[in-house]
Amino acid sequence: MVAETIDSFRLDGHLAVVTGASRGLGEGCALALAGAGADVALIGRNHEDLNAVAGQIGDLGRTAHILTIDVTELETLTAALSGLPPFEIFVNNAGTNQPQPFLEVEEKTYDRLMDLNLRAAFFAAQSAARLMVKYAKGGTIINMSSQAGHRALKDRSVYSASKFGLEGLTKAMAFELAEYNIRVNAVAPTFVETPLTKSGLEQKDFRQYVEGKIRLPRLGRISDVAAAVLFLASPASTLITGTSLLVDGGWTIH
């Protein structure tokens, strides 16, 4: 029984696709999936960074496919996904943030965040799901959400709107794709020390605010989020769909 449980986290023989894979959470997720035995297709805009991640995957004895594309360019993304070998794991991770007080949000800020965090995520997931249906092997799609998709956060109205939308999309996709044995879940992290959050967390007042809201005695780590993604990608979670796995240290329980 113990060996069977451990084996259920293995991904040998599978190909996983990770968007926003050049650094931060995407890089961490890609390496975790490769560590569990999967080959990984890396999607991002910076070829040099993707190549560095691919090198680490090669060191793990797995194969990496590098797709240097912008996920907001939907036709290019769809063509790139169609050119891959059949895959059963899709990590919809690409996203960004630009904090602004609600009364000061500019249209360009709104458009930029919603275009990447929700519109591109929607159509990337749709392209992946269409291919999974075509392959007829089932699959798992993991949307990278945020605790901001569950709670209001100061100066993050647009980001929260995009992540609340992604949470709703996750449930709607899970409902419609279940008949194809495609599971859809979200992972919703708290503040994690990544290149995207580095400048904010270096501000003393903001860091104290974050540390005061997380009930457990530390900030999130990339490895915390990668472990949650690995679980939802693996056979260990085959009866889980339409849910959001909060990796928030207890932020949202109070």
**Residues designated catalytic:** 159
Tell me the HSE value of 118 on the side-chain side, using a 13 A CA sphere: 18
| CA-based radius of gyration for the chain | 17
Task: Give the largest Cα separation in the chain, rounded.
Answer: 56
* Pairwise CA distance, residues 116 & 158, whole Å: 12
* DSSP label at residue 45: S
Tell me the HSE value of 125 on the side-chain side, using a 13 A CA sphere: 30
- The runs of H, that is alpha helices, within the chain are 2-7, 24-35, 47-59, 74-82, 107-114, 121-135, 157-177, 198-201, 204-213, 222-233
Q: Which two tokens stand for residue 127?
A: 């392209």
Q: Which two tokens stand for residue 239?
A: 């009866």
Query: What distances in angstroms separate CA 248 from CA 24, 210, 218, 219, one per listed residue?
Result: 17, 11, 10, 9
* Cβ neighbourhood burial of 205 (10 Å; 0-12, 13-18, 19+): exposed
Which neighbouring-strand residues pair with 18? 42, 91
Report phi then psi at 67, rounded to 5: -125, 100
